[in-house]
Structure 1
């Protein structure tokens, strides 16, 4: 188990966690959409978002782009193009205030799925006969679709994850071997720089001999697929949306919306970096990780009766330290260059359990502790706020982590840093998106939705 975290099991602390880690890359990647900093690009240049989405809710001034992510999910939303954006206000007066960091999702329907024809109602006797026939069959049911394997690029025939699968790459191997959320299916192939995706051990289906009565097939799923698919299946039926005050979609506005501001209206953008990716691989740390800015005085101080107080002070400090923060820093310390953690319908890594976002998402239930998940309960509609446009539940998609700040702010003073630019002070930004990917129903129409950005701010004491 992670040091300082007796609430989590060891299941997440070694090996492949199923989380995709994003890394900043200096090299130009041809036809790549996903990037840190720079200027946003749109699904349709002629249809940018309404101008109000560009503005900080505190000062009403244009914000800067932190990240744009290519978010196509062919297995979940096969007919949708998706892009995700997080913007932040750099002004000192807006720091740490709600609305100074906002998230957007762009969606365009490529095809309208035709409704399935209704089946004719059967008589009770026919239903009973069919049920009896099914019970008499000896063949096992067909295996369910492996959502995790599909999302992360494994073959549907072998159930193994491709060693060359890289969700931030537009290489031919990535396009042909995996259905990933970051590769542009319409872009020309280009080599991917930086870190290549780590291979995930494959599992080969094995079958037992066939007899005259039964046939049994045993399939060993790979760790990544099994873990992700299990999490995807954990869901709760959504409550009624009758009492929700839903917002009208921007494209349904009766009058013209404010235009997206011109580039000259924005502060100097952050330097643009492209993204590379690999699966998160963990090894058990040999010693607990204490943040660099925290020191413990190990001087042996004599207490009453000649006893040493050094160990006592250390124990007191550790018991009072936020478990979530220690777990957060220890986890990131194993892959310190990561700027992004991606796992659609997964669970975020919380920076704190005690701030407003931590209190909302932290799952203290015994079931969560048994799974080793000290964060949001997947599919629990009571934790991440519901979509304000359609009333559906929201699910976790990705989060930015502190190394992104170091990357984006490096050399910032050389590009016209404003005097009131205080620098970023967040610990993590968690993106929750509509589980139904709501948007315009018409083919080719681009729609924008503001999504939930859960910001956990740095705490000075840490």
Structure 2
């Protein structure tokens, strides 16, 4: 195997000294969802397991959850409420996985879909923000042009065309006396049809957005069809999925922790950390796997890592790793590629945009769902929960290392070549196996 010691991800960007916050958001289990709870029908409630709650007025076909390897209906692993900040669409991401051992690692044994629905009130606020930003940009450009003109004609400027910019948009004299230049000397800017007002504060936007979301959820829940085929599809018990920021030790500290293959979890979530059971006897591991376990060990409860347009945390030095982290011809070091290989991650079929990494499912997803399944079956058996976990691991294939999800960054919603108010689109999943 080639030397991967020089490849890098966001670990190398950490500050020296102390614990720092990364750009990654973590999804951690946060207790079981009661079967009678309305949260089960709430599309804005992220969860592990359970049945899906959909955004669209018409439920997608059950075939969306069909394993491409065995043709059986798969269980929902994760549902996340994850709308893009600058998109007018409400958005949820769904990931299904096949539990049959013989299907693991095969294309289509884990599938991800995004559901979109147009949010009118939020779209109006986005338009208002865009108009305001455009107006502010025009004012800034006009000020810069005026500053350049003054610098060129000012006898005290020493012909340093950029000198006046150090004193503000209108030069030193205006800073001292507070006088704006005469309107006739400001370059003409085409007036907007309507002067946009400054958008409301983010807190107010958040409240309105939550109110809009609650209304949408209530409407969808009230129209949920009890005879839906999704209600009879195989499923795991549902767990809440809470979001937290990732905090990692500095680069200086991580360099001191070498040859670490597992770290006991200190989390308080439901179930044990994957790091305490899966790799206790690992001795000979590659450096990519070692980096994976070290990074994940700081929060072993994590089930999802989310970083839109970020860098995935690879599980092992396999063909996926080599394709996503090729050796640079200029630096001779491994770096995450800005343009993904189309053989692995093709562009969006609807808008042809190059997909980006969005999130990845972690081994603890399998651990949490398997633990619960073993606990339920233990009630009707004399076999211990620990033994049932081992039996289930032997008879089911829920043992992958990580599943990477790549999505369309434009959040496109196109049906039959036309913009639509709601849609259902499949994204790309790459699976790294736990062998």
TM-score (norm 1): 0.58
CA 1:368–1:276: 2 relative to 1, 3 Å: farther
Task: Name the structure 2 match of 1:385.
Answer: 346
Contact 2:102-2:397 at 8 Å conserved across structures: no
Contact 2:110-2:429 at 8 Å conserved across structures: yes
Question: Per-residue deviation at 1:276?
Answer: 1.8
> Rg bigger for which structure?
2
Contact 1:84-1:104 at 8 Å conserved across structures: yes
Task: Name the structure 2 match of 1:455.
Answer: 431
Question: Per-residue deviation at 1:40?
Answer: 0.4
CA 1:24–1:132: 2 relative to 1, 3 Å: closer
Q: Distance in 1 between matches of 2:330 and 2:211?
A: 38
Residue by residue over 1:17-49, the C-alpha shift from the partner in whole angstroms, topping out at 9 and shown as x without a partner, is 2111111000659665211111100013x4111
Task: Name the structure 1 match of 2:222.
Answer: none
Question: Per-residue deviation at 1:273?
Answer: 0.9
Residue 36 (1) aligns with residue 48 (2): yes
Please tell me the root mean square deviation across aligned C-alpha atoms, in Å: 4.0
CA 1:287–1:275: 2 relative to 1, 3 Å: same
Residue 84 (1) aligns with residue 93 (2): yes
Task: Name the structure 1 match of 2:366.
Answer: 405
Q: Helix, strand or coil for the counterpart of 2:214? A: coil
Question: Per-residue deviation at 1:177?
Answer: 8.2
CA 1:328–1:367: 2 relative to 1, 3 Å: farther
Matched residue count:
310
Residue 186 (1) aligns with residue 189 (2): no
Task: Name the structure 2 match of 1:425.
Answer: 399
Q: Distance in 2 between matches of 1:360 and 1:443?
A: 34
Correspondence 1:341-356 to 2 at 5 A: 341-355=305-319
Contact 2:323-2:341 at 8 Å conserved across structures: no
Task: Name the structure 2 match of 1:58.
Answer: 69
CA 1:367–1:67: 2 relative to 1, 3 Å: farther
Task: Name the structure 1 match of 2:104.
Answer: 95
Task: Name the structure 1 match of 2:193.
Answer: none
Residue 276 (1) aligns with residue 285 (2): no
Q: Helix, strand or coil for the counterpart of 1:58? A: coil
Contact 1:13-1:282 at 8 Å conserved across structures: no
Task: Name the structure 2 match of 1:307.
Answer: none
Residue 263 (1) aligns with residue 231 (2): yes
Q: Distance in 2 between matches of 1:369 and 1:178?
A: 47
Q: Distance in 1 between matches of 2:115 and 2:53?
A: 11
Q: Distance in 1 between matches of 2:368 and 2:346?
A: 30
CA 1:63–1:98: 2 relative to 1, 3 Å: same
Q: Distance in 2 between matches of 1:260 and 1:98?
A: 27
Q: Helix, strand or coil for the counterpart of 1:187? A: helix
Q: Distance in 1 between matches of 2:362 and 2:292?
A: 10
Q: Distance in 1 between matches of 2:369 and 2:426?
A: 23
Question: Per-residue deviation at 1:179?
Answer: 6.8
Q: Choose 415-424 or 13-22, whichever is displaced more.
A: 415-424
Q: Distance in 2 between matches of 1:406 and 1:276?
A: 17
Residue 332 (1) aligns with residue 341 (2): no
Task: Name the structure 2 match of 1:250.
Answer: none
Structure with the largest fraction of helix: 2
Unaligned runs of at least 5 residues, structure 1: 118-128, 143-174, 189-258, 297-316
